[in-house]
Chains A and B, each alone.
Chain A
Amino acid sequence: MLLDQAPTTPRRRPAAGAASGLATAAAEAAPVWIGVGAIGVGLGVLSVGSGFPWWFSPLVSLVLFAGSAEFLLIGMWAVGAPLVAVGTTTFMVNARHLFYGLSFPLRHVRGRLGRAYSVFALTDEAYAMLGTKEARELSSGRILWTQAGTHLSWVGGSLVGSLLGASLLRGVQGLDFVLTALFIVLALDAFKAGPDRVGLVVAVAAGTAALVLFPGAMMLVAMVAFGAAMVVRHHAGHRARPDRRPLGAVGA
């Protein structure tokens, strides 16, 4: 992982073709795309049910691409909530993203446009699928296709939900479980790659405490608490054992 952080990697791996990037991305992400599409259907149903035209939720999904925020915002926009409230709510719901960019492997993405898109499309799913990977597993194509496929599924799901409306509510239940399964798999993989027991215990504790104390803002509170604990851990570790390199450190 430390090797990841080298500011410049002069030799780049030969550019994999776009098609192979798609194949690699799909091999992992296809089930996620299905689940995201299914949740998008729910958004489309909600949007049309709130009185918006059929094209509204696909448009929002295209330009905003922020799942849980969209569910909240549809309700707020429908009643004409003040713009300040719209901005504040969006910030509270999406502030957890403030932690993703610190370690998202953006340096593997080629081109200004590609990097801009990658930042725009940095969702929970993208971070979970890509932020946990070793550098050698990542290519520009894989990163961008993983994100674009999720984006396309989200927009497509919203469109389908909008057009077919409530008749789909009686459809298949529980497709959102795909995301639970995804995060479980990624947590198991991340722990296997670097069995960081301290981090695991702190994350579970932060998540559980946030659930109990701040159920309405669990994700944000848990991420802030975890991030703060890791800053403390960093400083404590450096004072106590200045030369100790923790688990999984490859370089330096």
Chain B
Amino acid sequence: MRATAPAPTVDRSGPSVPDPLYLAAGLAVAVAVTVATRAIPFAVADALRGSALLADLARWMPLGVVVILVVYCLAQIDLGDVSGATARLLGVGVTVGMHLWRRNGALSILAGSITCVALLNL
């Protein structure tokens, strides 16, 4: 990692950047924590290997996780912004409709996204 970051010479209107040592340490902390949250469950899964509980979790978790991700995304829609919300909800409708019709993931994602992006940028 580069320890000698050039000091910002151009002073924009933005705030000045903290010193490189702090940033390196801050980044290292964030990376360590993130890698730990991603790696630890594999150790847990190893310990539980062959258990009926792990088999049940492996069967039930994927659907639950993506459903929660959908709920999260839908909750981000700002209903106060009527045209924005309309575009996104129509995008959701097109995505679902196209997927139930053709069952082609890439096609459904493209159709829904194009609908949403087109309406938002009209």
The 8 Å CB contact of B68, one of A4, A222, A252, is A222
Take A64-B34, A174-B87, A180-B88 as given contacts and tell me if A185 and B95 are in contact as well, using a CB distance cutoff of 8 Å: yes
Chain A 155-166 per-residue mask, 1 if CB under 8 angstroms from chain B, else 0? 000000000000
Task: Let me know if A1 and B58 touch, CB within 8 A.
Answer: yes
Chain B 66-101 per-residue mask, 1 if CB under 8 angstroms from chain A, else 0? 111111111100000000100110011001100110
Interface size class of B (residues with CB under 8 A): 35 or more
Given the complex, which residues of B lie within 8 Å of A73, measured CB to CB? 26, 30
Cα separation A103 to B84 with both chains bound (whole Å): 36
Cα separation A124 to B68 with both chains bound (whole Å): 11
Take A102-B57, A226-B64, A234-B56 as given contacts and tell me if A174 and B30 are in contact as well, using a CB distance cutoff of 8 Å: no
Given the complex, which residues of A lie within 8 Å of B84, measured CB to CB? 174
Task: Let me know if A180 and B33 touch, CB within 8 A.
Answer: no
For chain A, the count of residues having a C-beta within 8 Å of the partner chain is: 102
Given the complex, which residues of B lie within 8 Å of A95, measured CB to CB? 37
Task: Let me know if A175 and B117 touch, CB within 8 A.
Answer: yes
Task: Let me know if A103 and B109 touch, CB within 8 A.
Answer: no
| Minimal beta-carbon separation of A75 from chain B (angstroms) | 11
**Looking at chain A's contact residues, is the secondary structure mostly helix, strand, loop, or mixed?**
helix
Task: Let me know if A175 and B42 touch, CB within 8 A.
Answer: no
| Minimal beta-carbon separation of B44 from chain A (angstroms) | 7
Determine if A44 is an interface residue (Cβ-Cβ < 8 Å): no
- Residue in chain A with minimal CB distance to B32: A87
Task: Let me know if A178 and B113 touch, CB within 8 A.
Answer: yes
Given the complex, which residues of A lie within 8 Å of B91, measured CB to CB? 174, 177, 180-181
Chain A 170-207 per-residue mask, 1 if CB under 8 angstroms from chain B, else 0? 00111101111111111111111010100110111011
Given the complex, which residues of B lie within 8 Å of A233, measured CB to CB? 56, 60
| Minimal beta-carbon separation of B71 from chain A (angstroms) | 3
Task: Let me know if A200 and B63 touch, CB within 8 A.
Answer: yes
Which residues 1-37 of A sit at the B interface, judged by CB distance below 8 A?
1-2, 4-5, 7, 27-28, 30-32, 35
| Minimal beta-carbon separation of A152 from chain B (angstroms) | 18
Take A106-B42, A178-B109, A208-B71 as given contacts and tell me if A5 and B34 are in contact as well, using a CB distance cutoff of 8 Å: no
Determine if A216 is an interface residue (Cβ-Cβ < 8 Å): no
- Residue in chain B with minimal CB distance to A192: B103
- Residue in chain A with minimal CB distance to B49: A7
Task: Let me know if B73 and A180 touch, CB within 8 A.
Answer: yes
Take A66-B34, A77-B18, A194-B63 as given contacts and tell me if A204 and B99 are in contact as well, using a CB distance cutoff of 8 Å: no
Given the complex, which residues of A lie within 8 Å of B110, measured CB to CB? 31
The 8 Å CB contact of B92, one of A184, A199, A207, is A184
Determine if A131 is an interface residue (Cβ-Cβ < 8 Å): yes
Q: Using a CB–CB distance below 8 Å, which chain A residues touch chain B? A: 1-2, 4-5, 7, 27-28, 30-32, 35, 49-53, 56, 59-60, 63-66, 69, 73, 76-81, 83, 86-87, 90-91, 94-95, 97-104, 106, 119-120, 122, 124, 127-128, 131-132, 172-175, 177-192, 194, 196, 199-200, 202-204, 206-208, 211, 218-219, 222-223, 226-227, 230-231, 233-234, 237-238, 246, 248-249, 252
